[in-house]
Structures are given as C-alpha cells and as structure tokens.
C-alpha cells in the first residue's frame, strides 16, 4: 500500500520533529531531525515501568561533562551546559536514522543578544564534535529564534561555517532578513506554539500561516531567479496539528512532522483518503505574493535599517506576528528553566 507518508516523501523532504529514537527508527529513515527545548524536556521526563527516568544515565553523563567544561570556560552556567549536552546527546541517538542535519535550538532566553547567541551556538556545535568526533560538521544545524538579534547571529555563524535555521518565524519580514543573512533554513510555524500546550486551543490564523509557507517559498524561488542561481535558504515548515495541514503543504521543500502525525500518515492509504489531497503546488496562486511589500522589506534589510525593519515587523498583521514570536519565546524560556532544574536536581543527587 502507498501511505500518505510515502506520498509526502515523494513531494517534500521530511524531517522528524522528535528526539525519540524509537519513533525515528520506526518511521525513518528521515532527512533531518528537528528539536527544541519542549521536545527535549518531554523526552527526558519519560519514565519506565518502575517509575525511573529512562534517560537518567544520559542526564548524569551530561552533568559530569558539564562539570568538566565549566571549569574551562565562563560563557555559560553549569545548568546551561548540562541542558546543551543533554539535547545534543538526545540528537545523536537519532543520527543513524537520518541522512541530513541534526537540529538543536539555542537557549531562548538569549534570543535578544546576538553575541550571547553566537557563543551559545558555537558551544552546541562543539558539543557535537566532543561527543561524536566522527559526525561531519555539515550534519549539525543550530536553530535560532528569528528575532532581529537572532538572525544577525545566524549571519555571523554562517560566515564561520556553522549551519543555521531561523525558527519561530511568522512573517515575510523575518524570512527576507533570514535569506539575506544566508540561513540554511527558515521554519515558518503553521500554528502558533500555544496550540501544543493549551488543550482545545485553535490558532485563528492557521489558514494565513499555511499560505505564508507558500509565499516564502515563492519569494525564495523568485530571489534565486533574480540572482541567476537558486538561493541557499529553504523553507522547513513546522508546528503542524493535523494530517490535513501536512498534506496541504505537500510540495513545500522541507517539512518537520511530530510522532503522532507520522503515525497517522504511515497508517493511512493514499487511495480513498478523503482529506485535502491537493498539495501546495496546485493550489498556490503566485500572484498573492505582495512584491511591493517585499521590495520595501528588502530595502530596509539592504540599507541595514534596524529601526525600520523592527517597525515593519511590529506592524505586520497589526502586531500579531510579533505577538506569536513573543509567545513562543516565553513558552520555550519556561521549558528552558525546567531543563535547567533537571540539571540542578541531578547535581543535588550526586551526579
């Protein structure tokens, strides 16, 4: 039988949005593996039939390495180092089930500091090299929240040979800036992050967000034509809540899909499926891209007009796009705090 997951893989590059190696093995191989603080915390919180933490060895090992590193540098706290190492360790568990990049997100509490985000990203990158020397650096991608400061950090990191993804992206303003910065990927969210944490909540802007993914891909395509060759930056659509949403974006260059949706996609036959089978390529109308607006954003970016870009982003959808970014940063920062508490508990237990 041909499943929806098979069909999707024929139209888009599919990444797994999980740090569960069993899921990656069951439905893989995948191209990339994406993650964030919330995904890492959920995985690290899993317990076995005896109520013991499944990943307790990884937690203790990460703390041990963090202690060793803490005495050699002063850019991060012991808790921050422990969190970074745990996230990298989880990602490495999925490496054999992927052919592309392992994505780890920087500390969201640093999202408004370019210099601190750069240091954070370089540390994460070095953790991969320390824990898995044989992993090619080209397979490491650092996810960075798409604030103005975060995207400036992406620009510098790309110059230094570190692959980046601009995440929590909700507007053309962010996408244009990220493309100019040379990010490898941008991750527009189909749903605001709140939908994954508040049962019953539905993103009222979901339809526009689906369209935004297509608009960004269309923009990147046109930009490549203008430059005479394809541009480096690609769309990695994220934050899906239904199979229908995923299949509506079949044809987007890259999508990252959570375990629950992967299971439904793999179990559903293409034949007879009554959902939205028409992919983006057939339903997207290219003339919906507002070229005048894009031109204004490009001019602000080209001229380095930070204040102008910030105001354009603030006014996008009457502030709704910026509001979704702030919401996501708040949620991720809360989970970062919980992850740091995991490290503190481990330390208190003698790790």
Which residues are designated catalytic? 143
Determine the Cα–Cα distance for residues 249 and 104; give it in Å rounded to an integer.
Answer: 24
Strands 102-105 and 13-16: unpaired
Determine the Cα–Cα distance for residues 37 and 334; give it in Å rounded to an integer.
Answer: 9
- Phi/psi zone of residue 103: left (φ > 0), alpha (ψ -120 to 50 degrees), beta? beta
CA 42 to chain centre: 16
For the CA atoms of 156, 168, 328, 23, the dihedral, rounded to the nearest 10 degrees, stands at -110
Q: Which of 247, 180, 243, 182 is nearest to 213 (CA)?
A: 247
Q: Which of 77, 44, 82, 80 is nearest to 64 (CA)?
A: 82
Q: Which of 123, 91, 120, 117 is nearest to 104 (CA)?
A: 91
The alpha carbons of the chain give a radius of gyration, in whole angstroms, of 20
Which residues are within 8 A (CB) of 274 and not within 5 positions of it... i.e. 6 or more apart?
none
Which residues are within 8 A (CB) of 93 and not within 5 positions of it... i.e. 6 or more apart?
19, 21
Sign, CA torsion 104/109/114/117: negative
For residue 96, is the peptide bond before it cis, meaning its omega torsion is within 30 degrees of 0? no
């Amino acid at each position: 039988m041909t499943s929806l997951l098979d069909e999707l893989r024929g139209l888009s590059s599919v990444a797994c949005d999980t740090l569960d190696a069993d899921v990656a093995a069951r439905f893989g191989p995948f191209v990339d593996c994406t993650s964030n603080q919330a995904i890492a915390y959920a995985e690290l919180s899993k317990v076995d039939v005896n109520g013991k933490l499944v990943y307790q060895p990884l937690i203790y090992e990460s703390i041990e390495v963090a202690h060793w590193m803490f005495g050699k540098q002063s850019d991060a706290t012991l808790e921050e180092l422990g969190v970074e190492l745990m996230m990298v360790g989880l990602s490495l568990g999925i490496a054999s089930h992927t052919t592309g990049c392992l994505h780890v997100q920087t500390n969201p509490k640093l999202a408004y500091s370019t210099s601190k985000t750069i240091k954070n990203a370089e540390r994460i990158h070095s953790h991969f090299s320390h824990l898995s020397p044989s992993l090619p650096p080209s397979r490491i991608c650092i996810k960075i929240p798409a604030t103005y400061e975060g995207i400036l950090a992406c620009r510098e990191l790309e110059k230094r040979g570190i692959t980046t993804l601009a995440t929590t992206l909700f507007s053309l303003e962010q996408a244009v800036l990220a493309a100019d910065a040379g990010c490898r990927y941008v991750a527009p969210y189909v749903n605001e992050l709140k939908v994954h944490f508040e049962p019953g909540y539905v993103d009222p802007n979901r339809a526009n967000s689906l369209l935004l993914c297509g608009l960004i891909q269309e923009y990147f395509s046109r930009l490549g034509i203008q430059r005479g060759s394809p541009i480096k930056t690609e769309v990695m659509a994220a934050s899906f809540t239904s199979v229908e949403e995923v299949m509506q974006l079949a044809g987007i260059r890259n999508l990252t899909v959570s375990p629950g949706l992967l299971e439904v996609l793999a179990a559903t036959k293409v034949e007879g499926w009554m959902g939205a089978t028409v992919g983006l390529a057939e339903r997207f109308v290219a003339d919906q891209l507002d070229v005048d607006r894009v031109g204004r954003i490009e001019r602000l970016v080209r001229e380095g007009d930070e204040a102008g870009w910030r105001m354009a982003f603030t006014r996008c959808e009457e502030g709704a796009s910026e509001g979704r970014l702030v919401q996501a940063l708040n949620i991720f920062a809360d989970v970062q705090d919980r992850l740091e508490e995991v490290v503190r508990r481990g330390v208190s237990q003698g790790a």
